[in-house]
Amino acid sequence: MSLIRKMTLFVASFSALLLSGCGDDIKYNMREGVTEISREVYELHMIAIWVCVVIGIITFGVMFYSMFAHRKSKNPNPAKFSHSTAVEIVWTAIPFIILIALAVPAVGLLIKMEDASDSDLTIMVKGYQWKWEYKYIDGDDNLANDVRFFSNLDQASRDMSRNAGSGFSGVKIEDDNYLLEVDNPLVIPVDKKVRFLVTSDDVIHSFWVPDFSVKKDAIPGFINEVWTKVDEPGTYRGVCAELCGQDHGFMPIVVKVLPQNEYDAWYAGKVAEAEAGPDLNERTMSQLMAEGEAAYNKYCSSCHMPNGEGNGPFPSLVGTEMITGEGSLTKHIDTVINGVPGTAMQAFGSQLTEAEIAAIITYERNAWGNDTGDKVQPQEIHDIKNGGGE
Amino acid sequence: MSQEQVQNDNKVMTKKLFVVVIIMVAFGFAMVPLYDVFCQITGLNGKVNGLAVYEEQEPDTSREIKIQFMTINKGNMPWDFRPVQTEIKVHPGKEYEVLFAVKNRTGKKMIGQAIPSFSPNLTAQYFNKTECFCFNQQILAAGESEEMPMRFFVDKDIPERYDTITLAYTLHNVTPDDEQVAAK
Amino acid sequence: MADHKPKGISRWLFTTNHKDIGTMYLVFSFIMFLVGGAMAMVIRAELFQPGLQFVEPEFFNQMTTLHGLVMVFGAVMPATVGLANWLIPMMIGAPDMALPRMNNWSFWILPAAFGLLLSTLFMDGGAPNFGWTFYAPLSTTYGPPSTDFFIFGVHLMGISSIMGAINVIVTVFNMRAPGMTLMKMPLFVWTWLITAFLLVMVMPVLAGAVTMMLTDRHFGTSFFDAAGGGDPVLFQHVFWFFGHPEVYIMILPAFGIASAIIPTFSRKKLFGYSSMVYATASIAFLSFIVWAHHMFTVGMPVKGELFFMIATMLIAVPTGVKVFNWIATMWRGSITYETPMLYALAFVILFTIGGFSGVMLALTPVDWQYHDTYFVVAHFHYVLFPGAIFGTMAAVYYWLPKWTGRMYDEKLAKWHFWLSIVFVNLTFFPMHFSGLAGMQRRVPDYAIMFSDFNMMSSIGAFGLGLMQLLFAWILIKVCILEKGEKATDRVWEDAEGLEFTHLPSPAPYHTFDTPPKID
């Protein structure tokens, strides 16, 4: 891991980029991707690079020649000219022509990229601070079998990032999918034109999957459309590209592209899951605590911290009024379900299952020495969400 | 040119430049209505204002356009909100009615406001609403539910390249804070 | 009043002398440069390796936000205003700026503005954390309480810049010595005049944008909130209508500096003076019709994207003319390589590299892959650091002997230059690669495939940070310790311009009380 090796790599990869142009190694160049569009984008990118490299070599070549040949020791008597209309017209016109030559393929490609008509499948993509929700628009009027789920950063990445140690001698992270893995990936069929309708619940996010050459801003209150048609089954990874708050770097996108029959089987499974309805079975205290710890670390710990003590604007949950105060349980449940308007505290009622909410609340009220002994069951949460309680 | 003359010229010019500054501040704010006008002409963000009037006309039965209806709840909006028909096929020039179902599942009175958005966004200018719940706020008492109508027709001059229009309504919670408190 | 200088603190508080005010601007901007640089060090330390090692993501976002704001509004812009104050009156043969008292105010507003902005670091809820572009609704509904102080700070910076710009315009139009026609003015004066017009046109729009934010936050309007009939994308339009010309506000003065330095050390007249003026004016004009190229992914109609793509690419034409003119100036000249010339040449080369990535970014379909990645970070740091900041450093080395009467330490300055060149490229060039490979902007942590390039960038950045301390030492040596050989009145062999041909070194406190004769 010597510095020399890094420097050599730098010089090597720089020259590789200039010399090869085809860049199999995705580490320093744009990837070609797995769609017709992404390959065309990649080609245009390479053309643009080469145009710049050639112009650069000519321009800087002339400049370096002049710096060398016209230095004072070699050329003590400077020339007197300071104007030449002919030359100036030439070097205004040539860049103009080059730019037009670049713009022509760009225009055609852009029009193709913006044409989302004739799609086979529509999926709503909704950004949240800091996760994604996917909802398959199936065209039938039955609500009970909607396929809809959230996609969060996986727990392993979360732990690694927190446990990386401090200072320059931090722990070396070696997982190739660090920060690029989620609990529930988006699943789409291969060779089908899939249209994404991108929107957001809170701030602006941006849905980016480099392998598809798809990037579209998720704007709260509006829908944006973008499409892709993937050639090869596989797992493709992207990230949120627009600054959306503290965990902007921690909301990856994973898309699994399956052959049609596997996709159909997966989709049927999801529909069956939805039809089965939420799991409202009663749980013991230790079950709630175990499920609660897992869910808390996934959804709550990035703001309230794994030790519950909060951070900056995010309040502590240890021994505070909200948790241990007299009769605070109702307020606590209401806060988790409906959020606190005007703050980063979201309304988790629509994002988490009843079981998760019950477990998180039980965990928060009994972990870190809070020890209130309060136990909340999924059924209670279900009743409150449907007009009971209060 | 005398010293005084120069100072006088300076003052005059400074004043003129401050006028430019004020005009540019005004321009900054004028970008808001300008953007709205631009959006209304192009339908850019779906904010094509006002009700259209349907005039009896011969529908273009040679074309069929798929209209998808989508509903989106803001995270802090606990109502059920869904299109009764999620998808219909229409002929341009013909008027249709669809329903959106809404239910306030909470134990308190709340106010909602639906905001439309179209995709592809430029289709908004061809989509004419003759009646829509989205022009008003919805006030629902605890547990109350409602089916809200929306009547519309698609312009016959909609370009051929559009075969699908998606209309998404985002339902915002606009209940004032004090009412929420009072409800408790 | 021969060369009487008031003494003590009141000289600086109440001064209306353009040279004093210029000095204060330059000192202030250098302090801000170090503050913003320290923030960059925090950023690069966190990004040295994958994983969270030094700061929380929330604080990281505050650092990126303040780094951007401090560098743009606190370092680059005041530095060029400082140069304008020092140089424009001497270059056009005027005794002072046209509005000396306003000049004093416009400077003293700045420390207040930045005191306010930096004080947010110590407030409950932390400093602004939404990026220097402060997109709504992250900065409105979701902004921290300190956002209001940020808004007020931006208002103050805006007022200061507008007053400074008005001063420049009035000075250039009314205060030129007899015979100094517009087309005889040095190019630095021309580029600053055009910059000043850009400032007067766009700073008020920025003020409008932050005012709308303020009313959205506190007075129930919803300019940028869909729930009330607004649109978050509108914010981006208003912001970039300011933001794109702002980019040229930062770079145009550096164009003027290069146009002064390259002829001197090539011992040849500037090639194509009038085409340089027209090119600058066309760049300024085009800057008003390209703003939405920052927003290619927000979902614009195709026709809009095409318009902004073509208009953006057109900017390459006048910019190319400028670069070719500088090279033609050197052609068959008699070139020597003192530090100002080295910086000016590095400026031309590295700024052009930033220009190349700019042309690539202009291509909308490909921009979908570049947008909001480190490729963009590399692009704008190439035009700003080796562009605007190297330009300013070239100017400081070039005119410092005229200001102080002493030559700087040429040997140390050469070290400063060569090490800066190595570190600036080591810092920013790898960012092209990490961006193309898929690393998004404004993240405190990243996937391991970006590790190597980030480590290089961090090492480069630490070196670049150290270089600024060396720069500070070089300046202290000349300005405070008063070491270094005496400069001649002409300073550089054949340097052109009234400040070199008509004035002694150091330039006296009051100059051109009687206008010089221009031939």
C494 lies within 8 A of chain A by CB: no
Tens digits of residue pLDDT in C112-129: 999 999 999 999 888 999
Chain A residues within 8 A of C320 when measuring between CB atoms: 91-92, 95
Say whether the peptide bond before residue A130 is cis (omega within 30 degrees of 0).
yes
**Please, what is the average pLDDT of chain B?**
84
Q: Name the CATH code of domain A121-276 (choices 1.20.1440.230, 2.60.40.420, 1.25.40.10, 3.90.470.20).
A: 2.60.40.420
Q: Nearest C-alpha of chain B: how many angstroms from A71?
A: 46
Nearest to B148 by CA among B130, B134, B165: B134
Of C48, C63, C453, nearest in space to A170 by CA: C48
Query: Does ipTM top 0.90?
Result: yes
Contact C229/B10, CB-based, under 8 Å? no
pLDDT in tens, A147-204: 989 999 998 898 888 887 777 777 788 888 999 999 999 999 999 999 999 999 989 9
Q: Nearest by CB to B163, which of A118, A387, A390?
A: A118
B75 to A202: CB separation less than 8 angstroms, yes or no: yes
Confidence check: pLDDT of C1 > 50? no
Facing residue for C227 by CB, picked from B24, B42, B172: B172
Beta bridge partners of B166: B68, B119
Cite the beta strand spans of chain A per DSSP E: 121-128, 131-137, 148-151, 186-189, 194-200, 205-209, 214-218, 224-228, 234-240, 253-258
C371 in active site: no
The answer to whether residue B82 neighbours chain A at the CB level (below 8 Å) is yes
Looking at chain A, which residue has its C-alpha nearest residue C45?
A: A168
Contact B58, B48 (CB under 8 A): no
Question: What's the predicted TM-score (pTM) here?
Answer: 0.92
pLDDT level of residue A14 (50, 70, 90 thresholds): low
Which residues of A are less than 8 Å from B68 in CB distance? Answer: 122, 137, 139
Mean residue pLDDT across chain C: 94
pLDDT by residue (tens digit) across B51-64? 777 878 888 888 89
Matching residue, tokens 């175990």: A290
The pLDDT tens digits for B14-42 are 999 999 999 999 998 888 888 887 777 76
C-beta of residue A322 within 8 angstroms of C-beta of residue A340: no
As annotated, the residues of chain A forming the CATH 1.10.287.90 domain(s) are 3-114
The amino acid sitting at A144 is A
Do the chains contact at C241 and B20, CB–CB below 8 Å? no
Share of chain A above pLDDT 90, in %: 49
Residues 6 or more apart in contact with residue B33 via CB below 8 angstroms: none
Residue A258 has pLDDT above 70, yes or no: yes
CATH number of A285-385, picked from 1.10.760.10, 1.10.357.10, 2.60.40.10, 3.30.70.1350: 1.10.760.10
Residue C7 annotated in active site? no
Distance from CA of B69 to the nearest CA of C (A): 19
Poorest-pLDDT segment among A18-27, C85-94, C394-403: A18-27
Percentages helix, strand, coil for chain C (3-state, rounded to 5) are 70, 0, 30
Tens-digit pLDDT profile for residues B85-123: 888 999 998 899 999 999 887 778 888 888 888 888 888
For the domain covering A3-114, report its CATH number: 1.10.287.90
Range(s) for CATH 2.60.40.420 in chain A?
121-276
Instruction: Decide if C493 is catalytic.
Output: no
Domain(s) labelled CATH 1.10.760.10 in chain A stretch across: 285-385
Q: Is the pLDDT of residue A389 over 70?
A: no
C369 or A345: which leads in pLDDT: C369
Mutation site, A115, A202, A222, A226, interface B, largest B CB count within 10 A: A222
Determine the average pLDDT of the residues in C135-143. Answer: 90
Average confidence (pLDDT) over A279-305: 87
- pLDDT of B43 higher than 80: no
Please give the structure tokens belonging to residue C178: 């007899």
- Predicted confidence (pLDDT) at residue A57 exceeds the cutoff of 50: yes
Q: Which residues of B touch A346 (CB under 8 A)?
A: 75-76
- Cis preceding-peptide flag for B120 (omega within 30 of 0): yes
CB C232 within 8 A of CB B55: no
Has C267 been annotated as catalytic?
no
From the list C12, C132, C135, C509, the catalytic residue is: C132
Higher pLDDT among residues C399 and B141, named by residue:
C399
Residue type present at position B113: Q
- Judged against a pLDDT cut of 60, whether residue A388 lies above it is answered with no
SS3 state of residue A135: strand
Residues on chain B touching A389 (C-beta within 8 angstroms) = 107
User: Of A114, A141, A136, which is closest to residue A125 (Cα–Cα)?
Assistant: A136
Catalytic annotation present for C519: no
- How big is the CA angle at C225 (ends C219 and C229), to the nearest 5 degrees? 95
Tens digit of each residue's pLDDT (9 = 90 or more) over C454-468: 999 999 999 999 999
Query: Chain A within 8 Å of C13 (Cβ-Cβ)?
Result: no
For residue A342, give the chain B residue with the closest CA.
B76
Q: Does the pLDDT value for residue A15 go beyond 60? A: no
Clarify whether C67 is annotated catalytic: yes
For residue C211, pLDDT over 50 is answered with yes
Q: Chain A contact for C123, CB < 8 A? A: no
Instruction: State mean pLDDT over C468-487.
Output: 93
> A273: pLDDT confidence band, cut at 50, 70 and 90?
confident
* pLDDT single digits (tens) A85-134: 999 999 999 999 999 999 999 999 999 998 888 889 999 999 998 899 99
Concerning whether C244 is annotated as a catalytic residue, the answer is yes
Nearest to C208 among B29, B42, B113 (CB): B29
pLDDT, residue A327, reads: 80
> From the candidates C29, C65, C161, C458, which is the catalytic residue?
C161
User: Nearest Cβ partner of C48 from A48, A109, A168?
Assistant: A168
Q: Which two tokens stand for residue A36?
A: 């017709």
Q: What is the mean pLDDT of chain A?
A: 86
Identify the closest residue of chain C to A97 by CA–CA distance.
C317
d(CA C387, CA C281): 19
| Lowest model confidence (mean pLDDT) among A297-311, B31-45, C153-167 | B31-45
Which tens digits make up the pLDDT trace of A332-360? 888 888 887 667 788 888 788 888 999 99
Residue B10 is nearest to which of C162, C174, C202, comparing CB atoms? C174
CB contact, 8 Å: B106 with chain A? yes
CB C378 within 8 A of CB C431: yes
**Which one, of C78, C91, C9, C164, lies nearest residue C507 by Cα?**
C91
Residue C29 pLDDT > 90: yes
